[in-house]
Amino acid sequence: MPTQQYCVPRKPAPQLDDLDRKLLDLLQNDAARPLYELGDLVGLSASAVQRRLSRYRSSGVIAKQIAVLDPDVVAGTVLACVLVTLERETKKLHASFRQRLLAAAEVQQCYDLAGAWDYLVIVAVNGMPRCRAVIDELLLDAPNVKRYETLFIFEPIKRGLNIPLR
């Protein structure tokens, strides 16, 4: 039974014009820019920018605004990719596994995959002992995990969460 059947349906996407795409590109690179500066860069007033930001938030285009810490600057940070395959594929077991990952603060990202692996889990922790403990807690103690492989990140080549809009 393929895992893709458990994917959550997406919300209908709002229509974005060229100004929306320019503004969203700017926000993805630095959401702390003042409204007047964003307006100057896209040719809108600060109040027009504010209205568009409100629309993006209410429609879900902007899911949230956060501060992104640099793991190279935060001492002791260990990043790892963990590939996971589940033993049996049922909605209940996938839901249970997902809830376990959602509850773990150390899980930075998690993706449902097509192919030989069911999930890709990105873990961010402070120190190698904590990394081992987190992975053991999440996967060794989890029912239904058939196998997993941990890949430690030596050096990020490119980081980001920007969504291409053009």
pLDDT in tens, 120-137: 999 999 999 999 999 999
Q: Are residues 43 and 83 in the same domain?
A: no
Domain containing 98 equals: 77-152
The pTM assigned to this predicted structure is: 0.78
Q: Encode pLDDT of 145-159 as tens digits.
A: 999 999 999 988 988
Residue 89 falls inside a structural domain: yes
Cα angle at 24 between 22 and 29, to 5 degrees? 100
Return the closest-CA partner of residue 110 out of 124, 121, 101, 123: 121
Residues 86-100: pLDDT tens digits?
987 778 888 989 999
Q: Quick check: 7 and 119 in contact, CB under 8 A?
A: no
User: Is residue 78 within 8 Å of residue 124, measured between CB atoms?
Assistant: yes
Q: Helix, strand, coil: what percent of the chain each, to 5?
A: 40, 20, 40
pLDDT at site 1: 44
The percent of residues in the chain predicted with pLDDT above 70, rounded, is 93
In this structure, what are the phi and psi dihedrals at residue 14, rounded to the nearest 5 degrees?
A: -70, 155
Enter the DSSP assignment of 163: P
Structurally, how many domains does the chain consist of?
A: 2
Q: Cα separation of 153 and 149, whole Å?
A: 13
Sign, CA dihedral 137-91-63-113, equals positive
Q: Are 87 and 139 in the same domain? A: yes
Check residue 6 and give its pLDDT.
Answer: 52
Residue identified by tokens 């097509």 is 114
Q: Compute the average pLDDT of residues 43-51.
A: 97
